[in-house]
């Protein structure tokens, strides 16, 4: 339960050591190369497409998903509480 005026993460994200950052950078670079290779070389069209979409979404962001109003006679209302 959240308490008004009190942070749920008062300490924030733990600080990573330089060694951890270097490790994660290298692992991420290797993962991107692996996924790129899959996108180019997989025998399966479905797998190649999935890898290509994954890469494109990380580079450009996911496509905007419009919200349709199925009943055109009534306004579409979003209430944020």
Domain boundaries, the chain: 18-60
Residue 33's φ and ψ, nearest 5 degrees, are -65, -40
**% residues pLDDT > 70 (the chain):** 96
When pLDDT is averaged across residues 34-63 and rounded to a whole number, the result is 95
Decide if pLDDT at 1 tops 70.
no
Decide if pLDDT at 6 tops 90.
no
The answer to whether the beta carbons of residues 39 and 52 sit under 8 Å apart is yes
Give the closest residue to 19 by CA, choosing from 8, 7, 27, 30: 27
Residues 6+ apart with CB under 8 A from 14: none
Query: Residue 50 has what pLDDT?
Result: 96
The answer to whether the beta carbons of residues 48 and 40 sit under 8 Å apart is yes
Residues 6+ apart with CB under 8 A from 8: 2
Decide if pLDDT at 44 tops 70.
yes
């Amino acid at each position: 339960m959240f308490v008004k005026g009190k942070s749920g993460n008062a300490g924030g994200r733990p600080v990573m050591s330089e060694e951890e950052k270097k490790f994660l950078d290298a692992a991420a670079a290797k993962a991107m190369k692996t996924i790129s290779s899959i996108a180019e070389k997989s025998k399966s069209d479905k797998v190649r497409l999935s890898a290509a979409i994954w890469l494109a979404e990380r580079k450009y962001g996911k496509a905007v998903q419009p919200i349709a109003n199925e009943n055109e006679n009534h306004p579409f209302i979003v209430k944020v509480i």
